[in-house]
Structure 1
Amino acid sequence: MVASVVEQLQARVDLMQGRPAAQPVATHPALNGLLGLRAGGTYTVDSATLVGLLLAGPSADGAWCGVVGSTELGLEATAALGVDLGRLVLVPDPADAWLEVTAALVDALGAVVVRPPSSVAESAAARLVARLRKRGGVLVVWGDWPRPDARLTLSDPVWAGLERGHGHLQGRQATVEVRRGTGPARRRRLWLPAPDDQGVREVETVPTPLRSVG
């Protein structure tokens, strides 16, 4: 509810300032009411799980996606979150050309993930974001980025399925936190994934007994 109000207010501000309102981009249903992706938006994440979760919506909607600068993204886990690997472009080691490669993919793909090897100057980030907004894509930064539209973090992971010395991992709960600017954080507890291969969904009101693992 709060996320919807914020987005409506942002659209009004854009109109008042003579800017076209950013169009919504398909977002994973588990994030409904928590975060809605927007064309031209930049979002930072702190984990591979959130990378896959943010790519899942555009990918399921038919968009081509790209990942720049990461060799740590598990493709099986990413596919389990809903990303179509047949429409995923990987550039794991762009070396010093990572920013140029990211800009090129922003011109061609619907959603691009980049893992910067170092801090990014605000001027360079601004040029890439201007290009992104012109093309109407989504940029997901795995790491730090100047003035993103929203920051997402994952915390308090707990696995299901482990008993005292036996059993096997069946599912994982974690808290997704979303921050926009200096506003208050919004949080949601999700299954990532749910037991029995049921995908990603919000944790039930009645908690399932879990055992934390280090």
Structure 2
Amino acid sequence: MFEYEGMAGSVATLPEPVPATVGAGGTSRARTAQANNAQARDAQTHRPERVQELQTRIRQMQRRTLEERTLPTLPGLAELLPGGALRAGSAYSVAESHALVMAMMAGPSASGSWCGVVGLPDFGVEAAAGFGVQLEHLVLVPRPGDRWLTVTAALADVLPVVVTRPPARVSDADAARLAARLRQRGCTLISMGPWPQSEARLSLEQTSWSGLGAGHGRLTDRQVTVSVSTAGGTGRPRTGRLWLPSADATLEQAPHLTAVAPLEYGTGDRSVPVPVPGSAAGSAAILRTAVGA
């Protein structure tokens, strides 16, 4: 689908067997030949392990280089991400939250980095601007069709941050090829949905809005719990309470361990959907509130 420009795999060089010869000093040469042949057989036996070891060392060297290259990240998110910031050359997956994606884009964009968005026709540019995304440094490809992966790879060649929404499951092979390009170009990928081999997976939990009174007012801000799971699902997820968005449409840290009570109106048990205006998701969110009978 796109050319693989990653580092070619290293292959261990194996010594060729040396035939035994007998003549002047033949005994010494025979022993040397036997030792070389034994070494060749041992190398042949352990060849897969040696190749795997070399590949692991290459990945470790690449990671040490890239770990020194981080992108500006909003403080509330930085405390939750592995390494304390978005890493250049890494991929992150977000569980269907436009607001969280915009918050991740805001730090790099505010520092002057270009961002690309692929496959999100409902991406709200006005909401993105409220989070701090610089629209003059934003590239949108809302409907790439079946060539979404090719478009994503092309943007990764020239932009520091690329957001994409895979229309279907991404194969491990495609993810590995794109990962090589991300490392080479130093691009950070944010996937709206699952992504193989991602650095971390971010999701929203315990969402609650505020601003409504007893029959009056408007929704002004939202508190959420952001959960971050590291690659491979190892370790306990890191969680943090954030305003997303806050009253001024940005991301802020909420008070530590703040308990937000659910909205309750009346004493009835019926509930009605209430459209949430100005939702950062680009489409009307739904808030369920109780009303009297």
TM class by shorter chain equals: 0.7 to 0.9
| 8 A Cα contact 2:241 2:258, kept in partner | no
SS at match of 1:62: coil
TM-score under structure 2 length normalisation:
0.64
Q: Percent of aligned pairs with the same residue? A: 47
Describe the shift of the 1:71–1:17 C-alpha distance in structure 2 as closer, same or farther (beyond 3 A): closer
Structure 2 CA distance, aligned partners of 1:61 and 1:71?
Answer: 25
| 8 A Cα contact 1:160 1:211, kept in partner | no
| 8 A Cα contact 1:14 1:21, kept in partner | no
Describe the shift of the 1:208–1:97 C-alpha distance in structure 2 as closer, same or farther (beyond 3 A): same
| 8 A Cα contact 1:109 1:137, kept in partner | yes
Shift of 1:15: 9.3
Tell me which residue corresponds to 1:200: 251
Tell me which residue corresponds to 1:6: none
Which AA in structure 2 matches 1:98? W
Which AA in structure 2 matches 1:51? V
Describe the shift of the 1:132–1:206 C-alpha distance in structure 2 as closer, same or farther (beyond 3 A): closer
Residues 103-145 of structure 1: CA deviation (Å, up to 9, x unaligned): 0000010100000111111101110110011000100000111
| 8 A Cα contact 1:191 1:203, kept in partner | yes
| Bigger relative contact order (CA 8 A; separation at least 6) | 1
Within-5 A mapping of 1:19-30: 19=62, 20-22=64-66, 23-30=69-76
Describe the shift of the 1:210–1:79 C-alpha distance in structure 2 as closer, same or farther (beyond 3 A): farther
Describe the shift of the 1:205–1:126 C-alpha distance in structure 2 as closer, same or farther (beyond 3 A): closer
Does residue 227 of structure 2 align to residue 187 of structure 1?
no
Structure 2 CA distance, aligned partners of 1:147 and 1:117?
Answer: 18
Structure 2 CA distance, aligned partners of 1:168 and 1:26?
Answer: 33
Tell me which residue corresponds to 2:61: 18
| 8 A Cα contact 1:159 1:210, kept in partner | no
Shift of 1:100: 0.3
SS at match of 2:65: coil
Q: Which has the larger radius of gyration?
A: 2
SS at match of 1:59: helix
Which AA in structure 2 matches 1:101? V
Pick one of 168, 172, 183 that aligns with 2:222: 172
Tell me which residue corresponds to 1:31: 77
SS at match of 1:119: coil
Pick one of 86, 104, 108 that aligns with 1:54: 104
Gaps of 5+ in 2: 1-55, 264-286, 289-293
| 8 A Cα contact 2:208 2:260, kept in partner | no
Structure 2 CA distance, aligned partners of 1:53 and 1:183?
Answer: 24
Tell me which residue corresponds to 2:174: 124
Shift of 1:164: 2.3
Residues 170-205 of structure 1: CA deviation (Å, up to 9, x unaligned): 11111111010222100001001222x162111124
Structure 1 CA distance, aligned partners of 2:195 and 2:254?
Answer: 30
Structure 1 CA distance, aligned partners of 2:223 and 2:240?
Answer: 10
Tell me which residue corresponds to 2:117: 67
Structure 2 CA distance, aligned partners of 1:32 and 1:116?
Answer: 25
Pick one of 138, 161, 180 that aligns with 1:111: 161
Structure 1 CA distance, aligned partners of 2:179 and 2:127?
Answer: 28
Structure 1 CA distance, aligned partners of 2:141 and 2:162?
Answer: 11
Structure 2 CA distance, aligned partners of 1:17 and 1:52?
Answer: 30
Gaps of 5+ in 1: 1-12
Structure 1 CA distance, aligned partners of 2:230 and 2:186?
Answer: 20
Does residue 194 of structure 2 align to residue 148 of structure 1?
no
Describe the shift of the 1:207–1:122 C-alpha distance in structure 2 as closer, same or farther (beyond 3 A): closer
Structure 2 CA distance, aligned partners of 1:127 and 1:206?
Answer: 41
Structure 1 CA distance, aligned partners of 2:89 and 2:102?
Answer: 19
Which AA in structure 1 matches 2:246? A
Between the two proteins, the alignment pairs up a number of residues equal to 201
Structure 1 CA distance, aligned partners of 2:142 and 2:188?
Answer: 19
Q: Over aligned residues, Cα RMSD in angstroms? A: 2.1
